[in-house]
Amino acid sequence: QSGDDHVGHGRLEEVDEASRRLLTPEKIRAIVRLLPDEWLANWSLDISAHDIREVYTQFLTTRLTQSQTIIKAAQHARQSLV
């Protein structure tokens, strides 16, 4: 397959940038708020649904801020295989 058949170096960065524009921390928080309590109830007897939502929000926001590091790792792994 040619390089055009894959999500290449520049394309990954384009998708990452677009995702970071769309998925702001505020939007992540709003989406996580939509999770029903019932979906979170079995995670822990000690942690409230509100606190679990905060953990999810923090995790997803951190992943968003670290996306460039993840992209670079993916590019490096791809180059190692080529």
Cα angle 72, 75, 78 (rounded to 5 degrees) comes to: 150
| The pLDDT value given to residue 4 | 44
Tens of each residue's pLDDT in the chain, 82 residues: 444 445 555 788 888 888 888 999 999 999 999 999 988 877 777 888 999 999 999 999 999 888 888 888 887 887 787 6
Looking at residue 33, what is its pLDDT?
96
What whole-number distance in Å separates Cα of residue 50 and Cα of residue 38? 12
The predicted pLDDT at position 54 comes to 95
Q: What is the pLDDT of residue 61?
A: 94
- Any residues with CB less than 8 A from the CB of 78 and at least 6 apart, and which? 6
Residue with tokens 């995702």: 19
